[in-house]
Amino acid sequence: MSDKTYEMIGGDGEQYGPFTIQQLQDNLSNGRANAQTQIRETGTEAWQPLGQLLGSQSIENFAEYREAILAGNRRLDVGLAFSQGGELFKAHMGTLIGGFLLFMLLIVATASVPFVGSCVQITLQGPLLGGFFILILNLIRTGAASMNDLFKGFESFGGLFLLTLVQTLIVTLIILPGFALMIGGFVMEVDFRNIQWQNEEAVLKALGAGLLHPLTILGFLLMFLLSLVSYALIFFPLPLLADKKLGLGEAFGLGFQVSKRNFFPILKLIIIGSLVVGISLIPCGLGLIFAGPWFYAVLAQAYEQLFSLSTVAPQSEE
């Protein structure tokens, strides 16, 4: 990691240090500093708020960072992620809901662009989602964030755009067996040649029978399960790239490796979170306003457990 050290002005006005980045994070976590605490790099004159330094942390030596993360053999504590995510949501509900609504508004608006909406959406989705995670991580680490953080993902625009394309391609390929089974069951049940297309009731009845065919239902369930599996394995490279400013290959490789080690805890977290989000859609979708940012807060806390060097993550017994 970086050899840089920092000096800090304590609450008593005295100057302390030198501290490493990790020690500054520990001071913040233990209440010995806050986002407004003044710090400066050792040997320089310019002071800055601690929150500004810790808001987004690039990695200068990826090999050392990767070794430190993998050597810890970290294990995700699902209950802790939900607990901390819920506390973060309650403490910063306005900022999280506002950031989520702005994120969703931009996604929907870009998708609505005539003719090229889907292309524009997939181009901006990665950077915007990366920025939303930066916003949440700033709340976790410093207790402060702004709507401007939502656009900080564009600092890694190329990597986040390409990563989103790769993730989309991987998920599409993984769910193909379920999709094929679903379409096969639908086609087996519906006789398109003999449908009375002028009779709306007959058309709806035929299509309904196709949707309720056992193979159609089985294919849909398989497609849903496979999408959750792929999500569990390849989700974390995106916040990792946005937060640490890594290359595409570095973020995807490390994110996949850590996720593979924690596959079942991550899958459990995603299934529970997805069920809550799904239920929130029942009352006219209004529950998503709360469930969406809450779930992203939970995912961000899970990310901190797995990828933050200042987090003491649970380890498995050898």
Is residue 267 a contact partner of residue 277, using CB atoms and an 8 Å limit?
no
Which residues face 248 on adjacent strands?
A: none
242 and 164 housed in the same domain? yes
Secondary structure in 3-state letters for the chain: CCCCCEEEECCCCCEEEEECHHHHHHHHHCCCCCCCCEEEECCCCCCEEHHHHHCCCCCCCHHHHHHHHHHCCECCCHHHHHHHHHHHHHHCHHHHHHHHHHHHHHHHHHHCCCCCHHHHHHHHHHHHHHHHHHHHHHHHHHCCCCHHHHHHHHHHHHHHHHHHHHHHHHHHHHHHHHHHHHHHHHHHHCCHHHCCCCCHHHHHHHHHHHHCCHHHHHHHHHHHHHHHHHHHHHCCHHHHHHHHCCCHHHHHHHHHHHHHHCHHHHHHHHHHHHHHHHHHCCCCCCCHHHHHHHHHHHHHHHHHHHHCCCCCCCECCC
Q: What is the largest CA-CA distance in the chain?
A: 86
Q: How many domains in the chain? A: 2
Tens-place pLDDT, residues 109-156:
988 887 777 888 889 999 999 999 999 998 987 777 889 999 999 999
Structure tokens at 82: 């939900």
Query: Mean pLDDT in each 10-residue stretch from start to end of the chain (318 residues)?
Result: 78 86 75 80 84 62 84 88 96 96 92 81 93 93 86 94 95 94 88 75 81 91 94 96 92 96 96 94 87 97 86 42
103 and 173 housed in the same domain? yes
Expressed as residue numbers, the domain containing 34 is 6-54
The confidence score (pLDDT) of residue 314 equals 43
CATH of the domain at 27: 3.30.1490.40
Q: Per the domain annotation, does 316 fall within a domain?
A: no
Q: Per the domain annotation, does 313 fall within a domain?
A: no
49 and 78 housed in the same domain? no
33 and 106 housed in the same domain? no
Structure tokens at 267: 């899958």
219 and 197 housed in the same domain? yes
Q: Per the domain annotation, does 312 fall within a domain?
A: no
